[in-house]
Structure 1
Amino acid sequence: MKNLQMFCLTLEPSHLEFIKSLNYIPVGLGEKKFSDKWFTDKNGKNISKKNRNYGEYTFHYWLWKNYINQLKDEWIGFSQYRKFWTIRNYDNFKLDINKINSIAIKEITSEFNDCEVILGSPFYVNQRRISKFLKKGIKIVLKKPGVLFNKNSRNLSFHFDLMHGEKNLEKAINLLDSKNRTDFQDYMNKNFYFHPHNMFICKSKSLLIEYYETIFPWLEKCEDVFGFKNLQGYDLTRIYGFLAERFLSYWFTKNVKYKTMNITFYDINKDLK
């Protein structure tokens, strides 16, 4: 790998050899035991006990506090055992683990030289099925029945309220510093897509550190509002990860030049059970 340090996050120790075959850096999260061949979020200064709520961000915290100064100052990326960066889109039913090995990126090509970060292709929330809106939050929909007929009213704020609890986004945004509070609110109100999966590829350590220095103090403040004990169901239990996912899109697109790349879905558990 010439110019890319790619971390691949997984919950399964059996994925080690495949991740290494990609020349990616293996990261083990969750409750299972991982050997010393893995990076984990459990040693040094860490918040691994919050993984159920923070998802990938317990590793980001560990990286920030324990290892970031040891990274080369070149492209630093994050992928997952079910999601891989690829130059173009691929039909899932045509994939297998060997195909993933051949199509997952190994370096960053020159077409991305003029940007500071690479984000995933946009995910449009206003194109979801009406039935899903009704299933997830009929009370919220009934308060704004226009969303059933007007796609332009289904913005990111509406979608977050629907999926992760009404007014929770507003509560979280109110905890941001003044520099970001208004701009993030505008971003959520005016946009219909975000760059998903908490995946990104950052060109420099300094930019990554700046992002971490912004996101983690905010998430810590959010803990005072949402806590952990009363978060029920996946969409609320993982609320810190979902807040970070939206904030990531906002923060990078606001602050630096970015380009997008496809993220291909394939669960390597299909081949490595």
Structure 2
Amino acid sequence: MEQQKSKTKILVAIHKADPVYSDNIYTPIHVGKAISKNDLGFQGDDTGDNISEKNPMYCELTAQYWAWKNLKDTTNIGLCHYRRYFKIKYTEDYLESLLQKYDIILPEPIYRSYSMEQKIYRAAIEEDVAILYQVIERLHPKYKKAVLAYMHGNKDIAFNMFVCSKELFDQFAEWQFSILFECEKYIRFSGYSRARRILGHFSEYLLPIYCFHHHLRIKSEELVSFVDDNQLLYSQSCFKKIINTIRYRFTTPQKRTDWGLSSVIIQGLRSDGIEIK
């Protein structure tokens, strides 16, 4: 008797030859396959409706987009990386029971000694952050409170990793890509590979913001480098969390109720012919 195919898919984003976990649920997907010089032998993100060629800018989000547009017969969906997995090796039955109690599974927060806004300004050009804020305010102004609350906090929910129902994922993906595609129209991408990954980086902030805005029931899960590995990634002791939070409270500027965008940056964008309308 032929085994019934699982309706739960946890995509494992991979872009180069490396050990990767695979079974009837965990599904390796070759991201950026349309522009890759190698065939890794896995499902590519370059079939059907796809943005595979934009992988240098969107990173693992090209797998997200592919899943959003092309996975139709799927009940639950997730995303992890070939070197970052959730500590729990999920089965279909366990996920079904877990997602009755929670709406989404996300990585355990990393408590920083600085705010998420300070983090994004360290990693991105200020003009690009200004574009992100202005695009959200124009397209989705109701999210402003959640954006400011997350960006002014010190809990970092990173890596674009999740597991949830396909229905919830589709709703998030539509919201997420509406913002990122609009940002892409205005951002002037750097020639440096790290800086070009800005849209994938932006989404690391958008996912938790979406969850907080909708008051989703979140199950936080620790990360490991490989399935069944006992070595935790980014693990923090309670003492470290407390110390970082104390440092954050003493060093972070008072929380604002506006975007706090510099008039110099806005004027600079206008001088470059960039104005979000």
- Normalised to the residue count of structure 1, the TM-score between the two structures is 0.70
Secondary structure of the residue that 1:44 maps to in structure 2? coil
Find the partner of 1:10 among 14, 20, 29: 14
Residue 233 to residue 62, structure 1, CA distance change in 2 (3 Å): closer
Which of 98, 105, 108 pairs up with 2:90?
A: 105
2:116 alignment counterpart: 156
**C-alpha separation in 2, matches of 1:185 and 1:23:** 33
* 2:228 counterpart of 1:243: no
Alpha carbons of structure 1 residues 27 and 2: separation in structure 2 relative to 1, 3 Å: closer
Matched letter for residue 132 of structure 2: A
Question: Contact 1:184–1:247 (CA<8 Å) still a contact in 2?
Answer: no
Aligned 1:92-171 pairs, distance under 5 A: 104-107=89-92, 108=94, 110=97, 113-126=100-113, 154-171=114-131
User: Are 2:8 and 2:25, in contact at CA under 8 Å, matched by a contact in 1?
Assistant: no
Larger mean CA deviation between 4-13 and 181-190 belongs to 181-190
Structure having greater relative contact order (Cα 8 Å, sep ≥ 6): 1
1:224 Cα deviation after fit: 1.6
Indicate if the aligned counterparts of 2:21 and 2:226 stay in contact, CA closer than 8 A.
no
Matched with 2:64 is 60
2:73 pairs with one of 70, 74, 77: 70
Give yes or no for contact 1:173–1:184 (8 Å, CA) kept in 2: no
1:146-225 equivalences in 2 (<5 Å): 154-176=114-136, 177-202=139-164, 204-225=165-186
Q: Give 3-state SS (helix, strand or coil) of 2:126's partner.
A: coil
What residue in structure 1 maps to residue 21 of structure 2? Answer: 19
- TM-score using structure 2 length: 0.69
What's the % identity of the aligned pairs? 23
Report which stretch shifted further, 3-12 or 208-217. Answer: 3-12
Matched with 2:223 is 263
Structure with greater helix share of residues: 1
Give the CA RMSD over aligned residues: 2.5
Task: Give the distance between the partners of 1:185 and 1:85, measured in 2 at CA.
Answer: 26
Number of residue pairs matched by the alignment: 215
Deviation of 1:232 after TM superposition, in Å, equals 2.5
Deviation per residue, 1:225-269 (Å, 9 max, x gap): 2143x35251x21110110011101112321211111111259xx
Cα pair 1:157 1:169 within 8 Å, conserved: no
Unpaired segments ≥5 residues, structure 2 = 228-277
